[in-house]
Amino acid sequence: MKAALAAAFIGMTALGAQPIRVIAFGAHPDDCDLGAAGVAAKFAQMGNAVKFVSVTNGDAGHQTMSGGELARRRRAEAMESARRLGITYEVLDNHDGELLPTLDVRKQIIRLIRQWNADVVISPRPNDYHPDHRYTGVLVQDASYMVVVPNVDPDTPPLHNNPVFLYYQDNFQRPNPFRPDIAVSIDDVYDKKIDALDAHVSQFYEWLPWVDHRLEQVPKDPAERKQWLAQQRQRRQITPEIRAALVKWYGPEKGNAVRQAEAFEICEYGRRPTEADIRRLFPMLGR
Ligand SMILES: [Zn+2]
């Protein structure tokens, strides 16, 4: 795998292209995986650099575990997910269920975007049902632009260019529905996305089924439960709006054949990319 990545990297640099640097923020140590594990796997396979950041430590997301014990377990799950995807994962030590859009957390996010020298930043939209998701969206919005201002958090050198900020797909309708500006086929890395989700055992096989009152449906055997997880996820339909975006980026033949996709909306507060910029930042879309 390392040799393959090195070869991909050399291939890119030989063509004069710099690796793309992507940083994705989620409120909890499985949120980035849900929204962007497929795209992350594709970026990584092509020799680019991807980092997932969980803004909270996830220490409220379980029905029987809590506190430090749960935070340590979820951190280990996130690291395993990163290993499977070929990316970096960082879990910040803010409490789950208590996140607020404070100056302190905003600075944590500004520093991480600067240190990663990000070209692309991904976050939830700030109209999500969960307050931690909502405030993660606000915090990343508040960090956009500030990442280029030298006198804000001056100990971390500012970025020269404001990155492109994107939102993960969601299904919230108010005040406005998600708009899929970019849609990426993840058919060839769908197994990797399931591998990444499968690493979060405490979530996909324990906590989330318990919240949904269907814990008894989860198979006990690790291989069987992974298959069950893949089946649950496969039921998700591509919306007509995302299908239209796939056709736009891939053409009608390829775009209509895609079965699994991840889509993103462009945030107005970052750099406003042209279509050519998007094809450069998302090389998997082709020319
Ligand atoms: Zn979450």
Tens digit of each residue's pLDDT (9 = 90 or more) over 71-91: 999 999 999 999 999 999 999
Distance 151 CA to ligand 1 centre (A): 32
Distance 139 CA to ligand 1 centre (A): 15
CB atoms within 10 A of CB 213: 8
What is the predicted pLDDT for the residue at 16? 54
Distance 36 CA to ligand 1 centre (A): 13
Distance 144 CA to ligand 1 centre (A): 21
| CA end-to-end distance (rounded Å), the chain | 27
What is the predicted pLDDT for the residue at 13? 44
Nearest to 238 by CA among 254, 259, 257: 259
Q: Which residues pair with 184 in a beta bridge?
A: 262
In the chain, the percentage of residues whose pLDDT exceeds 90 is 91
| In the predicted structure, residue 11 carries a pLDDT above the cut 90 | no
What is the predicted pLDDT for the residue at 234? 85
CB atoms within 10 A of CB 170: 18
Distance 53 CA to ligand 1 centre (A): 12
Distance 31 CA to ligand 1 centre (A): 5
Q: Please write the tens of the pLDDT for every residue from 204-221.
A: 999 999 999 999 999 999
Q: Please write the tens of the pLDDT for every residue from 231-249.
A: 998 888 899 999 999 999 9
Distance 28 CA to ligand 1 centre (A): 5
Distance 49 CA to ligand 1 centre (A): 23
Q: Please write the tens of the pLDDT for every residue from 14-63.
A: 445 799 999 999 999 999 999 999 999 999 999 999 999 999 999 999 99
Confidence of residue 6 (pLDDT cuts 50, 70, 90): low
CB atoms within 10 A of CB 53: 27
Average pLDDT over residues 258-269: 97
Average pLDDT over residues 181-187: 98
Distance 133 CA to ligand 1 centre (A): 6
What is the predicted pLDDT for the residue at 224? 98
